[in-house]
Amino acid sequence: MTELVLRPLADAFMQVGVYVAVLVALFGWLRWRYGDRVTDGLTNRPRLGPLVGALLGVSPGCGGAIILMPLYARKKVSFGTVVAALAATMGDSSWVVLAWNPGFALKLHLLLFAVGLVTGYVVDAVGIDPARSGVASRGDRGGVRAAGTAGRPAPIPAAAAVASGVGAGRGGMDVAVHPPTTTARRPVPAPLRLLGGLRRRDPATAFWGLTTPAFAVSVPVVFQLVDPVALTDTFGGVDPYLALGVLGTLAAVVIFAAGGCRLADDNLETALPGSLRETLRHSAHEASFVTVWVAVAYVGWQVLTTTTGFDGSQLALTGLLGVLVGAGIGLIPGCAVQIVFTGLFISGGLPLPTLVANAVSQDGDALIPLAALRRRSAALATVITTIPAAVVGTAVLLLLG
């Protein structure tokens, strides 16, 4: 039971979740501190659009790409800028590869930046832009009306608010952290009381309170700076890595469930936090979101390989077919499926060309607000990013062959 379920649950938090939390908080702080300067500079220098779009898109998570969508709806940036961001972004899957192997993540993100940059400039050079090619669709006209003034990006319309969680309080989080409580309670063990406390108080406080000691244990264990057996002996026979890891994943499940178990966790509000408190709050939710889907991939893969002897070599995801499958899965909006797909790669279930094709093709949560603002543009953009995904994935396949 420990190796089949508990160990993968602990690995999801200790090998991915705690590092995601730190990285999300860092990049969230950068967006909170400097986000307006980037967007203001972009609107003042339209020719640099695809370059800045690729830079925003390649930043880990979905926030960088999301903030471009209302700017496009107000015709402040080109369609090539949007495509560059969508081709460069790996969404929340980028947190997974960063936590797993920073060196590999850097190489992959450099490749994504180059692909996004070239694709964006090609789209602008050809003159592709469904918003200017004819009469806008009904959804497109709604997107234009939804656009605000030249300051911060306009709010997402009601349809996107429902899909992304906007309107449930600042950043779509308030409903998730204040559920109804009942008066009759049975005594429960201390760890479960901690998990239940996540639903009654600010989840960021409780999450960071758990993540801090978990990070302190994870670093020496993951980087093999200490002997796990000696560390267990130090704590009287209790494995702190396993205990904190399982508890951390369960805490992530509680926060994720309280947030409605959505397949997307980012929206315009969370992409542009208004305070440091909001930044830390969203960091806890985003790290929980990633941890849950990584845990799904880890546990599912462990159960499958242990019970059936399946090692991934039987998957029809190698060769050109694998590249096409990876690119096709990238068409699915949101980050949940993409995180599971990336988790399979880390577990050894997918080859590199398949991952690369998926990384280029996927658009993360950024496609959701774009679809609400301009449906035709969103549909065309996600199709366009599939083309370089198949090309680059095939090139990697040939290079490795």
Q: How far apart are CA 79 and CA 339, in angstroms?
A: 27
Q: 288: domain range?
A: 2-175+189-400
pLDDT in tens, the chain (401 residues): 777 788 889 988 988 888 888 888 887 777 777 766 666 666 667 688 899 899 989 988 888 888 888 888 888 889 999 999 999 999 889 988 988 898 999 999 999 999 999 999 999 999 998 877 554 444 454 444 444 433 444 444 444 443 444 443 333 333 333 444 444 445 545 444 554 554 455 666 777 888 889 988 888 887 778 888 888 888 888 889 899 999 999 989 988 888 777 766 666 666 666 677 777 787 888 888 888 988 888 888 788 788 877 655 545 567 899 899 999 999 988 888 889 889 888 877 788 999 999 999 999 888 888 888 888 999 999 999 999 999 999 999 999 87
pTM over 0.85, yes/no: no
347-to-6, 107, 294, 299 alpha-carbon distances in Å = 16, 19, 10, 10
Structure tokens, 210:
């758990």
Flag whether 9 is in a domain: yes
Flag whether 181 is in a domain: no
Q: 205: helix, coil or strand? A: helix
Of 365, 361, 363, nearest in space to 388 by CA:
361
Flag whether 295 is in a domain: yes
pLDDT for the residue numbered 258:
82
Q: 113: helix, coil or strand? A: helix
What DSSP designation does 310 have? -
Flag whether 313 is in a domain: yes
Flag whether 335 is in a domain: yes
Q: How far apart are CA 80 and CA 83, in angstroms?
A: 5
205-to-68, 113, 285 alpha-carbon distances in Å = 30, 35, 11
Flag whether 382 is in a domain: yes
Give residues with Cβ within 8 angstroms of 34, minimum separation 6: none
Flag whether 224 is in a domain: yes
What domain count does the chain have? 1
Start-to-end C-alpha separation, the chain: 39
Flag whether 183 is in a domain: no
Q: 184: helix, coil or strand? A: coil
pLDDT digits (tens, 9 = 90+) for 116-167: 999 999 999 999 988 775 544 444 544 444 444 334 444 444 444 434 444 4
